[in-house]
Amino acid sequence: MLRPLFLSLLVMGVSSYSIKDEIVNPSNWSPSAKWLGFTGSLVGGYWCVTQLHAYYCAPSGFYGMIQTALLMSSPVCRTFVSVLSNIDSIYGAVWGGLFLSSMSFLSDISKKFSKNTQKGYD
């Protein structure tokens, strides 16, 4: 008796819920949401590749040390290391860009304040 009720509630719940197009389309996101989404995807990608590398290329234990010696220069493990290095470079560039953009924004604000202050004394 509960099974049909559960299935009908599940179907009604899924059909009544719809995601707005503004949320799904990244071109409608604010710049800070885009930055957070991109940075979050970089962090998630780095974590996933690190877990894959640790599982396949460098498992724990004595057997893992032997497996690491055999697989360290395999194409899969080298690809994992290359992807990790590239994600690290991009992540550093993203934070550097955020820092420089913040400095530029603060500089523009200070210029506007200094122009307003000079107009007040003239």
Residue 67 exposure: Cα atoms within 13 Å on the Cβ side: 13
Is the residue at 87 inside a domain?
yes
The model's confidence at residue 45, banded by pLDDT at 50, 70 and 90, is very high
Is the residue at 84 inside a domain?
yes
Is the residue at 88 inside a domain?
yes
User: Can you give the pLDDT at residue 35?
Assistant: 83
Is the residue at 102 inside a domain?
yes
What predicted TM-score, i.e. pTM, was given to this entire model? 0.64
Between helix 31-56 and helix 75-121 the angle, nearest 10°, is 160
Q: How many residues does the chain have?
A: 122
When divided into structural domains, the chain yields a total of 1
Is the residue at 60 inside a domain?
yes
Above 60 in pLDDT, residue 14?
A: no
- Domain coverage including residue 89: 31-117
Mind listing the pLDDT tens digit for each residue in 86-121? 999 999 998 898 888 888 888 888 888 777 666 655
- CA 89 → CA 19, 54, 76, distances in Å? 34, 20, 20
Q: In sequence order, which residues have a C-beta less than 8 Å from that of residue 7 and are 6 or more positions away?
A: none
Is the residue at 105 inside a domain?
yes
Is the residue at 16 inside a domain?
no
Above 60 in pLDDT, residue 15?
A: no
Mind listing the pLDDT tens digit for each residue in 20-35? 666 677 778 788 888 8
